[in-house]
């Protein structure tokens, strides 16, 4: 198990929580909630070691299109980058509904 | 083909099995009545998994939803089969126990409250060993406490099934609801193979597994009160009907003499085939009722 923490700048406040996904094989859960600081803080807990470069690339791309001040927690059970991006998009959609 | 759109019936139904634990518990509740307790943002997760290098889940794979079913107060506790095989650990077990105990207290205070336990689980979480065993005993105790006042309905839709200590919990429920895809038992196929060899039970033989543990066989043996299609509406109506029915006159698990007599008259030297066993058992059932 490996823990990765990443922080990105944010431009706007958000008001809603969102929870999507399940920590099941090849899937992950995302907890997204408003942050006090004007940043997007992401904490990843993954069952697969040694993929921090890939995680950074996936989250860099996500942060390029997301500017909410949020605390995002990811519990991962070996999801592929595609699944991670889709779950993040789903969490953002749920929090802005 | 039945609808005006010319779609076959199975396309018109909404699968229950494809829902996760939270969605399953929610769809059983009357619209607008559901409220979750100790949800993922409360972060009551297992303190033991991360120490063993396993990613925890924020709700420990146990979802507690309070609301109303068929107009009556009810609590639904759903285990997430996709997370660690739906296993019962210290936290998930405590959540289930507390939910059932509060329901029993509400009944004692004059608020009729029934419970639906959605069991998709292999039983005790091995990483939490004794704590999981203790939790199972506590859940059983809470079911026994609650079922005197209000029905406790066990729903095993699939596809994980319900095994181990939680299989015993299912045995204590007032009513059991299953689909043909669901499985129910104590020792699962892999455990039996590990203990007694592949000649005893071949866990790669899925047809054999479902012929023994599957919902259809369990219903034929009189262990299931409603065998339903994998459809949200069908399952929700089956649960509502059982809640309206109230506490059964006799709980299945109280019929000790009946089951003891039946098991004693079984010839274990004979290799029983699932269908043959089903016929023998249901004939006995008819005789017992004479």
E strand or H helix at A5, and its extent? strand A2-9
Residue A14 φ/ψ, nearest 5 degrees:
-120, 165
Domain ranges of chain A: 2-95
* 3-class SS letters over chain B: CCCCCCCCHHHHCCCCCCCCHHHHHHHHCCCCCCEEECCHHHCCCCCCCHHHCCCCCCCCCEEEEEEEECCEEEEEEEECCCCHHHCECHHHHHHHHHHHHHHHHHHHCCCCEEEEEECCECCECHHHHHHHHHHHHHHHHHHHHHCCCCCEEEEECCCCCECCHHHHHHHHCCEEEEECCCEECCCCHHHHHHHHCCCCCCCCCHHHHHHHHEHHHHHHCCCCCEEECCCHHHHHHHHHHHHHHCCCCCCHHHCHHHHHHHHHCCCCCCCCCHHHHHHHHHHHHHHHHC
Q: Do A29 and B54 touch (CB under 8 A)?
A: no
Per-residue pLDDT tens, chain B, 290 aa: give them.
Answer: 444 567 777 788 999 999 999 999 999 999 999 999 999 999 999 999 999 999 999 999 999 999 999 999 999 999 999 999 999 999 999 999 999 999 999 999 999 999 999 999 999 999 999 999 999 999 999 999 999 999 999 999 999 999 999 999 999 999 999 999 999 999 999 999 999 999 889 999 999 999 999 999 999 999 999 999 999 999 999 999 999 999 999 999 999 998 898 889 889 899 899 999 999 988 887 777 66
Q: Which domains does chain B have, with CATH numbers?
A: 9-254 (3.90.226.10), 256-290 (no CATH)
Task: Please list every residue in chain B whose beta carbon sits closer than 8 Å to the beta carbon of residue A19.
Answer: 39-41, 58
Q: Given A31, A33, A46, which is nearest B55 (Cβ)?
A: A46
Residue with tokens 């290098």: B53
Say if B16 is an interface residue toward chain A (CB within 8 Å): no
The ipTM estimated for the assembled molecules is 0.94
- Mutation target to probe the A interface, by most A beta carbons within 10 A, among B23, B40, B55 is B55
Q: Do B82 and A31 touch (CB under 8 A)?
A: no
Q: What is the pTM of this model?
A: 0.94
Residue B5 φ/ψ, nearest 5 degrees:
-80, -5
What gap in Å lies between CA B75 and CA B62, rounded to an integer?
A: 13
């Amino acid at each position: 198990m490996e823990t990765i923490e990443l922080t990105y700048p944010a431009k706007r406040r958000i008001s809603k929580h969102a929870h999507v996904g399940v920590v099941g094989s090849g899937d992950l859960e995302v907890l997204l909630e408003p942050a006090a600081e004007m940043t997007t803080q992401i904490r990843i807990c993954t069952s697969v070691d040694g993929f921090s470069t890939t995680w950074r690339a996936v989250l860099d791309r996500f942060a390029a299109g997301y500017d909410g001040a949020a605390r995002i927690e990811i519990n991962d059970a070996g999801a592929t980058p595609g699944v991670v991006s889709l779950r993040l998009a789903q969490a953002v959609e749920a929090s802005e509904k | 083909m039945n609808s005006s759109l010319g779609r076959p019936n199975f396309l018109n139904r909404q699968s229950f099995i494809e829902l996760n634990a939270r969605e399953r518990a929610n769809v059983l509740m009357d619209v607008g009545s559901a409220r979750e307790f100790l949800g993922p943002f409360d972060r009551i997760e297992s303190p033991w998994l991360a120490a063993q290098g396993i990613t925890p889940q924020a709700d420990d794979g146990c979802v507690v939803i309070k609301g109303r079913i068929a107009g009556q107060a009810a609590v639904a506790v759903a285990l997430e089969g996709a997370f660690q095989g739906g296993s019962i650990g210290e936290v998930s077990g405590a959540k289930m126990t507390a939910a059932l105990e509060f329901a029993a207290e509400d009944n004692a205070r004059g608020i009729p409250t029934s419970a639906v336990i959605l069991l998709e689980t292999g039983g005790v979480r091995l990483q939490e060993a004794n704590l999981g065993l203790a939790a199972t005993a506590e859940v059983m105790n809470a079911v026994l406490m609650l079922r005197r006042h209000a029905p406790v309905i066990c729903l095993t839709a699939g596809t994980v099934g319900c095994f181990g200590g939680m299989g015993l919990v299912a045995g204590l429920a007032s009513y059991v609801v299953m689909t043909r895809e669901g499985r129910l038992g104590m020792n699962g196929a892999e455990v039996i193979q590990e203990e007694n060899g592949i000649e005893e039970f071949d866990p790669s033989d899925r047809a054999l597994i479902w012929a023994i543990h599957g919902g259809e066989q369990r219903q034929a043996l009189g262990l299931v009160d409603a065998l339903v299609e994998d459809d949200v509406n069908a399952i929700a109506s089956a649960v509502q009907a059982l809640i309206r029915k109230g506490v059964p006159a006799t709980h299945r698990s109280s019929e000790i003499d009946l089951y003891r007599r039946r098991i004693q008259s079984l010839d274990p030297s004979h290799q029983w085939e699932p269908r043959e066993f089903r016929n023998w058992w249901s004939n006995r059932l008819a005789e017992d009722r004479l």
